[in-house]
Amino acid sequence: MTRLRPDVVVDFGTLFDVSPNPYILLSPEMAILGMNAAYLQVTMRLREEILGRNIFEAFPGTPDELGRANVAQLRDSLQRVVRERTTDHIPLIHYDIPRPDGTFDERYWSATHTPILAGDGSVAYILQHTVDVTELHHLRQASRLSEGATGPSAVIEGGILNRARAVQQQNEVLNEERQHLRRLFEQAPGFTAVLRGPSHIFEMANAAYIQVIGQRDIIGKTVAEALPEVSSQGFIELLDQVYASGQPFVGRGLSIRLRQNPSEAPSERFLDFVYQPIHDAAGKTVGIFVLGNDITEQKRAEDELRDYREHLERLVHERTQALEESETHRRQAQKMEAIGQLTGGVAHDFNNLLAIVIGNVELAKKRVVDPRVDRLLENAMLAGERGAKLTRQLLAFARQQALSLEPTDIVQSVHGMQDLLLRTIGPSIEISTELAPDLWPVITDRNQLEVALLNLAINARDAMPSGGKLVIAAENAQPADLPGDLAAGDYVRISVRDDGTGIPEELRTKVFEPFFTTKDLGKGTGLGLSQIYGFVKQQGGSLRLKSAMGLGTEVALYLPRTGLEPLSESAKLSVERVDGQGAHVLVIDDDTGVRSFITESLRECGYQVSEAKHGVDGLNMLAQDPDIELVVVDFAMPSLDGLGFIDAAREAYPDLPIVLMTGYAEAERLNETRLKVVPTILKPFSIDTLLTAMSNAVAAQES
């Protein structure tokens, strides 16, 4: 109720009802919600007949083609009001009204459809105002039939009808254009939407837009209401910015999280889009046009392609690096092999020379009574022994030393070295061990292994001048972690690592070469690591170095596993030397100086000695003299070498004790099973070493 004057109270519902113009109130679904008396009068209906019914059920129109076209025209007008929320006019429409008897009363109408909006901007009702222009239409027809009619009434009425028809035709053209634009909007390949006002209310959205956001009812709602999940993602702020500035925003590949289904969590999508401001005639921003493309699949395909390309690049890089490392290892192996062959040959000659020098010095010491001469000979002996150690190291690098291979318990060996390591390394460095409890036994020369670990520990000590930590570790190596140069099989990994200064990258491939050292002049021969390298490679193992400047160094030895159990110390054979007492010994060596030193030394020890220049000569002497009780034979000789002699001699004299001497040897042949019972001594050697080996040979044949 609204008071217009103090003395008159007007009810607007009453005004609606008493208006002489026909009015009807419809829902957005076209249901009749109310009408005034004028409407009931012109349509010849009772209120209860049509209230609540769909307008097209209450007034179906004629069943012919013309009637169907008129119904479609009315329906399009009402739907435009709902869709566009604007008033729509039909200047003239032929829409017949059914009579109670089922016939139709011909009627022509002029209609105006006005939307009544709810608070959220959606269409709540449609108010239809109709004017019955049937009589005017009949007058127009009459004027066409009366060509001579020139009266003022006819002219006015004809003009009105002509203008109505022109407006009708114009509206039809505009409606067709509007429908065409609507179809283009709907069929656009990209997603499009129209937002109205500063709160960004959805006015229109095509099917592509609905597909992106999921099936939702968004028309008439603000973006924040329709898409609540985007409120925290910055898009509403972008819309505010575009609306306030009047400047468009272009987004490329922007990530947005949208809920495709109310029961699902938001999923990530990627969009290219434009926020284009919409301006009115005065240039004021009244809305925003949204246009874009969902590039999620394209983005994922590009990401997959990029990941695949990066994966291929990594594979190529890794493969290239592996090939480069393999080529480096191959060149290094070839270089080491060439150096080893040269070194082995030189060591052989030096061993023979040193054997003569040391042997004759030892003989001279026994015959000299002058203390001053004895001191000179002692100095010569020390120098000879240093030379002998040097040649042994060279042979170790060349993988041509004679190894005493046996099953070895790594834990026992490392624990047995602890006192020696503590004395050698000093108190400034912390020594610890990390030994796996289930270590396999290995086949190795235990003494050589302990020397190798000691040398590595000394190198680690020198890399930690201010103190640090030294760790000796051992574990069963995993197949995937084995160096590529190892044969298939099981190996134990023994490592020595420190946290010292590290080794520069350019020096890491050189540290195992003989005579290479980073120590000051006179403080190292450069043979420690090369000896370890040869020792490990000779027994079928491998070696790896890891180092980083300032972070320390680790040297790992890979030794082959054995199925044999290690022998206890008490089970090992040890036989002391004995004097000759006239026993007959045959000495076979192609080097006159070495042969002379040995025969002279043995004769002084009470042995009867015969000499042979090579293996064939030695076999002939065995055949001629059955009194020979023991043979001392060299390995490398012309015609028939030491191993050939041993094979032939054992076939004819299976119980004959034999001692093998070597200054240069092929490691594989020296380690053959048939030589396990043949004591082997390395040149140069002392007479005591020779006598002990002879005693062991006799004991081995008697056992």
Distance of CA 229 to the CA centre of its chain: 33
Distances (CA, A) of 430 to 433, 464, 653: 10, 11, 57
pLDDT number for residue 55: 92
Mean model confidence pLDDT for the chain: 80
Segments of 133-235 assigned E as strands:
191-196, 201-205
In the DSSP assignment, the letter for residue 200 is: T
Both structure tokens of 191: 């997603």
The residues near 281 (Cβ < 8 Å, ≥ 6 apart) are: none
DSSP structure string for 563-631: SSPPPPGGGS--------TT-EEEEE-S-HHHHHHHHHHHHHTT-EEEEESSHHHHHHHHHH-TT--EE
Q: Does residue 373 carry a pLDDT above 70?
A: yes
Both structure tokens of 229: 């999940």
Both structure tokens of 503: 């080794």
pLDDT number for residue 261: 80
Q: Are 239 and 195 in contact (CB under 8 A)?
A: yes
> Over pLDDT 70: what percentage of the chain?
77
Q: Is the dihedral of CA 4, 7, 11, 16 positive or negative?
A: negative
Band of pLDDT at residue 492, cut at 50, 70 and 90: very high
In the DSSP assignment, the letter for residue 477 is: P
Name the phi and psi angles at 249, rounded to 5: -125, 135
Q: In what order do the strands lie in the sheet with 680-682?
A: 608-612, 584-588, 630-634, 658-662, 680-682
Both structure tokens of 640: 């028939």
Top-confidence residue, 616 or 99: 616
> In angstroms, rounded to a whole number, what is the distance separating the alpha carbons of residues 177 and 171?
10
> In angstroms, rounded to a whole number, what is the distance separating the alpha carbons of residues 358 and 389?
13
pLDDT number for residue 485: 83
Both structure tokens of 544: 């790896």
Compute the CA torsion angle 449, 454, 458, 463 (nearest 10 deg).
50
pLDDT tens column, 35-62: 988 888 888 888 898 999 999 998 888 8
Closest CA to 482 of 472, 493, 497: 493
The residues near 160 (Cβ < 8 Å, ≥ 6 apart) are: 136
In the DSSP assignment, the letter for residue 640 is: S
Q: Are 292 and 272 in contact (CB under 8 A)?
A: yes
Band of pLDDT at residue 133, cut at 50, 70 and 90: confident
pLDDT number for residue 656: 92
Question: Is residue 505 left, alpha or beta, with left meaning phi > 0 and alpha meaning psi from -120 to 50?
Answer: alpha
Q: Does residue 152 carry a pLDDT above 70?
A: no
- Residue 684, preceding peptide bond in cis (omega within 30° of 0): yes
> In angstroms, rounded to a whole number, what is the distance separating the alpha carbons of residues 159 and 391?
131
Q: Does residue 3 carry a pLDDT above 50?
A: no
**Domains along the chain?**
2-132 (3.30.450.20), 191-294 (3.30.450.20), 310-390 (no CATH), 406-569 (3.30.565.10), 573-702 (3.40.50.2300)
* Mean pLDDT of the 377-404 span: 64
Low-confidence winner among 63-67, 355-359, 485-489, 492-496 (lowest mean pLDDT): 355-359
pLDDT number for residue 363: 75
pLDDT number for residue 615: 92
> In angstroms, rounded to a whole number, what is the distance separating the alpha carbons of residues 133 and 131?
6
Please report where in the chains the tokens 């021969």 appear, as a residue.
Answer: 525
> In angstroms, rounded to a whole number, what is the distance separating the alpha carbons of residues 557 and 474?
9
pLDDT tens column, 448-491: 788 788 888 888 888 898 899 999 999 999 988 888 888 889 99
